[in-house]
Structure 1
Amino acid sequence: MTDLATRAAPPRDGALRRAVPALLGYAAVRALGLVVLAVWSAARDKSAYTLLTARWDALWYTRVADLGYGYEVRLPNGDVHSNLAFFPLLPWLERLLHAVTPLSYADAGFVVSLLASLAAAWGIFAVTDHVYGRRAGVCAVLLWAVLPVGIVQSMAYSESLFTALAAWSLYAVLTGRWPAAGALAALAGLTRPVGLAVVAAVWAAAIVSFGRGGGAADARVARAGERAPVASADDPSERVGASEGAPDASRAPGAVPRLLAMLVAPLGAAGYVLWVGHRTGKGPLGYLDVQAGWRNGFDGGAAFARFVADKFTSFPSALAGAGLIVGVGLVIWLYVACVRGRQPLPLLVYAGVVTALALCASSYFGSKPRLLLPAFPLLLPLALALSRLRTSRSALVVGGVAAASAVYGAFWLNGSGPP
């Protein structure tokens, strides 16, 4: 298994230019989704903008931005829904943007998500391009855009912001920028509880790097982790291999940057969790009590398994149960493909933790596809397969899936929507 692929990154002045096709394709897919949502919502006499900015979790984030922490809802069954469950980086950004512009908090959340989704798309491209080449990078971004729940990327939710921070932290690890990796991991930890996945990826990469001795050993690891050859079906001469992006031994970090990354990475999540514990007076694990008020926790997937089993009590719901089993099987198959494809260790650790936390949460089963949205490394085997098709054929596939995704997103938000 490839543990870590540390190579020189493209020159900064060419990095954005290299990503332009991916970003344009991403913007086109998201624009299609928003147009279909607007038309569908208008036909149902609903506001598409309200669905994107002032429903479900978006309301909780704007309340934090406006009123701060301390708001809670007590339900008739005794459950307490506290806004302490929501990590602070998105509402902080909403408050900042509201303070310097005429935008409302909801408007600010929408703008932050739009910008963060572009940053996430760029980060996904950068990671995939670094490991597998430019063509696979473009395909990975487009696949992330056309996910059935891709409309969430345009909502005033924290998924896009978190994915952007996670992707760029992983890219920093892969290119040996350890202080940046740690700082971005800390910010990811201030965004969502699953920031733990980014911290784990940084720690795993740093520990492996220490184990291999660092310095010249990092260069040897880089040679072991060079990109696999990917041939373009349109241009057989477009290949990525050992001759490209050879490791730059002069960039091999010493122990201090790696230690600094390991120290900084958990500060965001740990700082917020400890603050919640102090505020609630329930000690370091007080955040778990807050989550329990939402009937959310980690039970190894037992509650989700019971939820799926209950679907088989009648014929119509049995079809939904079968669909859930197929979906979980597909996620597991993709992760196994990532392992067999020798993805760099940080990507495997990150995707594995995100997947485990999403599938093994004890509540909000309808949210699981949304919770899996940041696990973009799972898409890389599909991106590689798509990159080997002719451009006309891959465009047809992506276009068809993008249309279906846009229709589903509009149907979903005008129906049950993401809880």
Structure 2
Amino acid sequence: MDNTTGQRSITIRLPAITLTVPVPRLNFGTTWRRRLRSSWIVAPLFVFFLTRVIAFSSAYIGEISIPGQNSDQFWHAAPDNLFLDVWARWDSGFYMRIVTMGYEYQKGTQSSVAFFPVYPLLMSFLQPLVGSELLAGVLVSNLSLLGALMFLYRLALFEFGDEPTARRTIFYISIFPTAFFFSAVYTESTFLLVSVATIYFARKRLWAWATLFGVLCAATRIIGALVWGVVLIEWMRASGWTLDRVLKRDTWVALFSALRRDWPTVLLITLIPLGMLSYSLFLKRTFDDPIAFWTAQAAWGRQASGPLTILIDRVQKLLTSNPLDGNIELLDLINVLTFFAGMAVAVAVWRRLGLSYAVYTVASLLIPASSGTGSLIRYVLVVFPIFMILGQWGRYQLLNRAIIVGFGVFLGILTTVFVNWVFVA
């Protein structure tokens, strides 16, 4: 062995000739161990397994602790396996039916066309391997969550530059009061994965990858199409355009110069809405209604009245209610408070993370609120810039403890309520 380089060698002696041949050190094991020790792998894995053990345990205990809730009057996807059954509630039935029966649409009724195709497609790919659409959905949801936590950790580390903030970010989002949806047969974890990946690659200036995940994002949820504008804003920022310099002539000169030089990238980014457009084309050819995903929303009582009208109506009802006699819509109160808290944090998102994050945050709150507040506490679960800011604020120990205790307590309560067929969001 060469003591100066640490490299092994073999000495070969032939008649009158001595050859020293270096032998490369094969460090496959060392390389993999180093990768496994990488914080962006270890921290998300730890948070994932810790919070999922808690989620599965809480859901199971919550199901069996309330007598009568597992009776025949409630639909159960797997009555002989409560560890799986608890994750199929409410909208889960639509996703499972899409996998087994395909899309269905009948005007005036709650139809499966309201649900975008990426998540049920992933379920259908996995279902033949595991033999159950329920198990396929649970696996897709949980694997998507693990991938989302890895991307979110790397994104938070990129923006803030310190691992404690990144760790708090993924932990907070994993114990948010509605984080049980990440393991249920719902789109939350899949949408979180593709949306975080889109922004991550946009921030890293990897536009092809950002476009790919953006297309998937637009085909996962109706709100996913807005990432097109977010990625475009990121491209503008990379070209020197910023909101605080919008009145400067040189800012626009630099932007148009970048557009002439880099127009193929802009053209690539404009492909992101194809995710939604492809689904619209399918609906047109199958049901002769390209916006069936939107018109079907009326069957759930959702009408686009505008966020201001909706919020004023909800606040007025809450102000005229009497909590002392129990005459109060508790979920309405939670959803309204969640909305205003999210909008308040959006200011910090804009100041610390920039315009693209702020646009994504505000739009992700306003668009659902335009048709009702009934599920806002679930929709805010995937608005990851909010949790990035909370992750930074969590450096203050008192606030960190308050977030963990508050989120944890309500997570346990809402999980128990959800698995017992009480509508949460």
Scaled by the length of structure 1, what TM-score is found? Answer: 0.77
Query: What residue is the counterpart of 1:66 in the other structure?
Result: 100
Greater Cα shift, 143-152 or 405-414? 405-414
Structure exhibiting the larger radius of gyration computed from Cα positions = 2
Query: What residue is the counterpart of 2:395 in the other structure?
Result: 387
Judge conservation of contact 1:277–1:287 (CA < 8 Å) in 2: no
Alpha-carbon distance, 1:37 to partner: 1.6
Structure with the bigger RCO (C-alpha within 8 Å, sep 6+) is 1
Query: What residue is the counterpart of 1:30 in the other structure?
Result: 52
Partner residue of 2:354 out of 336, 344, 365: 344
- Find the aligned partners of 2:125 and 2:424 in 1 and give their Cα distance: 26
Greater Cα shift, 170-179 or 38-47? 38-47
Query: What residue is the counterpart of 1:248 in the other structure?
Result: none
- Find the aligned partners of 1:141 and 1:394 in 2 and give their Cα distance: 16
1:135 matched to 2:140: no
AA partner of residue 298 (structure 1): A
Q: Secondary structure at the match of 2:409?
A: helix
Query: What residue is the counterpart of 2:417 in the other structure?
Result: 412
AA partner of residue 50 (structure 1): D
Aligned length: 356
Query: What residue is the counterpart of 2:5 in the other structure?
Result: none
Query: What residue is the counterpart of 1:18 in the other structure?
Result: 39
AA partner of residue 357 (structure 1): I
Distance 1:256 1:180, change over 3 A: farther
For the aligned residues, what is the CA RMSD?
A: 2.9
Judge conservation of contact 1:36–1:406 (CA < 8 Å) in 2: no
Alpha-carbon distance, 1:200 to partner: 2.0
AA partner of residue 43 (structure 2): P
Unaligned runs of 5+ in 1: 1-10, 214-220, 222-253
- Find the aligned partners of 2:37 and 2:119 in 1 and give their Cα distance: 25
Scaled by the length of structure 2, what TM-score is found? Answer: 0.76
Can you list the C-alpha shifts for 1:292-324, whole angstroms capped at 9, x where unaligned? 333324322223431332233331245846655
Can you list the C-alpha shifts for 1:15-70, whole angstroms capped at 9, x where unaligned? 982221243123212321221221121122533532312x2111100111111112
Query: What residue is the counterpart of 2:147 in the other structure?
Result: 119
AA partner of residue 186 (structure 2): Y
Query: What residue is the counterpart of 2:374 in the other structure?
Result: 366
Aligned ranges 1:12-411 → 2 under 5 Å: 17-19=38-40, 20-45=42-67, 46=70, 47=82, 49-53=84-88, 55-70=89-104, 72=106, 79-99=108-128, 101-133=129-161, 134-210=163-239, 212=241, 255=262, 258-282=265-289, 284-301=290-307, 302-316=309-323, 317=327, 320=330, 324-341=335-352, 343-360=353-370, 362-363=371-372, 365-389=373-397, 396-397=401-402, 400-401=405-406, 403-411=408-416
AA partner of residue 26 (structure 1): F
- Find the aligned partners of 2:306 and 2:202 in 1 and give their Cα distance: 29
Distance 1:271 1:407, change over 3 A: same
Alpha-carbon distance, 1:398 to partner: 6.0
Judge conservation of contact 1:150–1:405 (CA < 8 Å) in 2: no
Alpha-carbon distance, 1:194 to partner: 1.1
Alpha-carbon distance, 1:397 to partner: 5.0
AA partner of residue 219 (structure 2): L
Can you list the C-alpha shifts for 1:59-87, whole angstroms capped at 9, x where unaligned? 10011111111255x7xxxx321111110
Q: Secondary structure at the match of 1:387?
A: coil
Alpha-carbon distance, 1:400 to partner: 2.9
Alpha-carbon distance, 1:176 to partner: 0.7
Identity across matched positions, percent: 21
Judge conservation of contact 1:60–1:83 (CA < 8 Å) in 2: yes
Unaligned runs of 5+ in 2: 1-30, 71-81, 243-250, 252-260
